[in-house]
Structure 1
Amino acid sequence: MSTLTTQDTFTGIIDAAPASFAEIRLKGKEQYLTQGLPALKEEEYKFTPIRKKIEQTISQFENAKPFPITAEEVGNAIFDGFDGSVLVFANGKFVPELSNCDDAVKVSDLADQADLELGSIAKAEKDPFVALNQASFQSGVSLSIPKKTKIEKPILLLSFNQAVNGQIVQPRIWIEAGDFAEASFIDFSTMLGDSACLINKVVEIKGGVNSQLNYYRIQNEGSTAIEVSTIETDILQDSRFTSVNVSLSGDMVRNNLNLNLLGSNSEGNMYGLYLLNGKTHVDNHTNVDHTIPHAESNELYKGILADQSRGVFNGKIFVRQDAQKTNAFQQNNNILLSEDAIINTKPQLEIWADDVKCSHGCTTGQLDEEALFYLQARGIDKTQAKGLLLYAFAGEVLEHIGDESFRNYCISLVGDRLGSKF
């Protein structure tokens, strides 16, 4: 077992980082060395012992290297009915020869975009894993959508991660949409192999005025993945951003989602579903920062936990002093299917304005036995009846996925997990 310290855990990886973005890499390194890997005594990670998990699971770290992917593997990984652009990644490295994208979208390797404001949205000082990624990411991609451009079909971000013990995969994605632009993204990963590895992903999204952006993500890496993902977006005047995150598997997973509402009449929507079994641990941390008057946020996360799984939900809404006329809603609901399943939920409001409409809440319970009996009394067998009730609970999140093919794919996966077909 390795001994992790702030100084030496990832020092070799940081020192081996490419020369590009030297200034922000240095800042990331300084922040990582200052913060170190989070321990349980830190409030933001008090229910998620990710430092201990990394320490126990992976003896040493090295950067994951790109590996060959075939067109057949890409085709097999894409879910049925998908119609849109496909951007392929292998251990975080963009694979242009297997990718295709709408001609209106400018797709560039980060190495060729030195003028990007990386780190200006997802800031290294906020989280040590963001700092680590900023200091040592090997490659990444930027997507730029011109103003007044509507991308009709979704853009699939298809990542292949090759699980080799001790490797760290650090994807880095920058998305920028001009004023009045519209687009939808589907973030989909597949794991090759079953060895333990660490995935540390950072996505920064910069939307223009009156932009409409959707970001749908499914986390289904397999039972050995230790994963941290951070998605953060700036939402400007008259713009709307919608996120739907579905978590189904992993060893220990941490999902950070941060929305910065920076303009009047802006809207941020955050929806999440986590279906956990075995010993899977998923921690959803969300943050909505209301800085300007007349903005709205909506948040709904739901969890179904079985076996010895553990879920964490910590949702924060900040309403700044100048953010009058804010409308903010937050709700977290959970069903526990086992006496050994655990959920730690902590919805939070911090309000400094006095003319606002804000609410939050959480519920935790078991399956409604009366409703289950009602369905069985009408000839539906117990397994199917249970699946129907659980899907009715989960479906409220899935209905916010705008792309029909991806929504149907998620419905199928959820149906398989719940023991019922829909």
Structure 2
Amino acid sequence: MTTITKNKVTDLFLLNKPTNSNFVELRKAGLDYLESNGLPALKEEEYKFTQISKRLEQQITNFKSAQPASLSKVLVQKAIFEGFDGDIIVFNNGEFVPTLSIISQQNYSFSLLSDAKPEILGSIAKVENDPFVALNNLAFNDGVFISVPKGKKVEKPIYLLHFNQANQGQVVNQRVLIDVADSAEVTFLENTISLDEESYFSNTVVEVKVAQNSHAHYYRLQNENRQAIVVNNFVTDIHRDATFTSVATQLQGGMLRNNLTMNLLDSGCEGNMYGLYLLNGKTHVDNHTNVDHTKPHADSNELYKGILADSSRGVFNGKIFVRQDAQKTNAFQQNNNILLSEDAIINTKPQLEIWADDVKCSHGCTTGQLDEEALFYLQARGIGKEQARGLLLYAFAGEVMEHILYQPFQQYCTNLIQDRLGSKF
């Protein structure tokens, strides 16, 4: 088994040298960072509740990149939910599959990342002070680049559909870069499907650049197998008078770590992030969010909710930074949790760092159990205990789901949640 220690680059980093030579500087930056820092040690502050390095040592015995799995049009068709009408970009263990994708390019352009112009490649993240971004920089072979031109509205959603499987290797690296130009609008959906129950390590970096007066929505479903180890780094730059909204629905996985960064770079912009984690078994989900207000008159809204059962564990660490120049900032952050078991654990830490003096900012968290009085009220009106319990839990979760504006995807996620809660109605 490969030992993963700080200050040492091991076979994990060097076992697979990507064949694509277009990202030399990026790979060097990743290698330099990893040679100096390695993966997170057990006592590292940012990962102290989520010991991914230890989990990798325990579960991943083959650090080679997973080879393409066996996919078919039938498998892709099964992954398309009722009511969906849009384009589909299919990935097989992180690699784009053109033969199974449907790409109309109506009001947007699509290419492999290696085919993008040099100025585009120069804009992607080098390290961002996270070892898993560095690891992705070093290990990914190619990614995709999606661009929405100035003034264009992409009428139908773009569905990023990932299929993962440990096949001759257990490591999957994925890279996506999205550029939304001035006064444009687009909606993205993302779903990852595990093809079996074997362990794998998925390491993804998604970057979204939202230009002046544009609007972007990104809705993600995480419902992978119970052995999957997943790290997602998602970085968004939001410019003047633009809006960006992220909604993440997290239902299953072995250990999931989501790093979401929103950089509000100009006045009049707005960033929204909403998340729901509905966990059971031994699923472990860690959401680390960073909202950086750099200019005046910008707004951010953040709401994450969790329902935890059995021996599941949730972690929420949300940071809001308000820089000295960011006067008239409105920034709100809330994390609410319901624990359904004595063995379920939540570690929550909302944070504010404010250097401006004319702002409206708030943050908070709550952790409790299901309201017994409300449960009794519903039962007294002829509703069975299990259905009443499901109704209350879904009412708690629904505040997040209502921010998914594409109704077929909202209904798809809602059905999965209601099935889990036993509240189908």
Q: Secondary structure at the match of 2:14?
A: helix
Once the two structures are TM-superposed, the CA of residue 120 in structure 1 deviates from its matched residue by 4.0
One-letter amino acid matched to 1:387:
G
User: Cα deviation per residue 1:27-85 (whole Å; 9 max; x = unaligned)?
Assistant: 11111222211123111101101110001111230012223421111111111111111
* Structure 1 residues 6-405: aligned runs within 5 Å: 6-13=8-15, 15-16=17-18, 18-101=20-103, 102-113=105-116, 115-118=118-121, 120=123, 122-164=125-167, 166-405=169-408
**Percentage identity across paired residues of the two chains:** 62
8 Å Cα contact 2:297/2:326 also seen in 1: yes
Q: Secondary structure at the match of 2:182?
A: coil
Once the two structures are TM-superposed, the CA of residue 384 in structure 1 deviates from its matched residue by 0.1
* C-alpha separation in 2, matches of 1:61 and 1:16: 14
Aligned pair count reads 422
Once the two structures are TM-superposed, the CA of residue 2 in structure 1 deviates from its matched residue by 3.1
Q: TM-score under structure 1 normalisation?
A: 0.97
Once the two structures are TM-superposed, the CA of residue 169 in structure 1 deviates from its matched residue by 0.5
Which position in structure 2 is the counterpart of 1:408?
A: 411
One-letter amino acid matched to 1:360:
H
* C-alpha separation in 1, matches of 2:111 and 2:255: 32
One-letter amino acid matched to 1:2:
T
8 Å Cα contact 1:231/1:258 also seen in 2: yes
* C-alpha separation in 2, matches of 1:188 and 1:119: 28
* C-alpha separation in 2, matches of 1:22 and 1:12: 14
- Evaluate the alpha carbon distance shift between residue 119 and residue 249 of structure 1 in structure 2; reply closer, same or farther with a 3 A threshold: farther
* C-alpha separation in 2, matches of 1:165 and 1:329: 46
One-letter amino acid matched to 2:59:
T
Q: Secondary structure at the match of 1:63?
A: coil
* C-alpha separation in 1, matches of 2:128 and 2:211: 25
* C-alpha separation in 1, matches of 2:121 and 2:28: 13
* C-alpha separation in 1, matches of 2:230 and 2:274: 19
8 Å Cα contact 1:273/1:397 also seen in 2: yes
8 Å Cα contact 1:161/1:192 also seen in 2: yes
- Evaluate the alpha carbon distance shift between residue 400 and residue 330 of structure 1 in structure 2; reply closer, same or farther with a 3 A threshold: same
- Evaluate the alpha carbon distance shift between residue 407 and residue 145 of structure 1 in structure 2; reply closer, same or farther with a 3 A threshold: same
User: Cα deviation per residue 1:221-271 (whole Å; 9 max; x = unaligned)?
Assistant: 110100000111100000000000010001100011100000100000000
Which sections of structure 1, spanning at least 5 residues, go unmatched?
none
8 Å Cα contact 1:147/1:180 also seen in 2: yes
* C-alpha separation in 2, matches of 1:281 and 1:119: 35
8 Å Cα contact 2:16/2:64 also seen in 1: no
* C-alpha separation in 1, matches of 2:413 and 2:335: 20
* C-alpha separation in 1, matches of 2:206 and 2:20: 19
- Using the TM superposition, name which of 380-389 and 71-80 deviates more: 71-80
Which position in structure 2 is the counterpart of 1:3?
A: 3
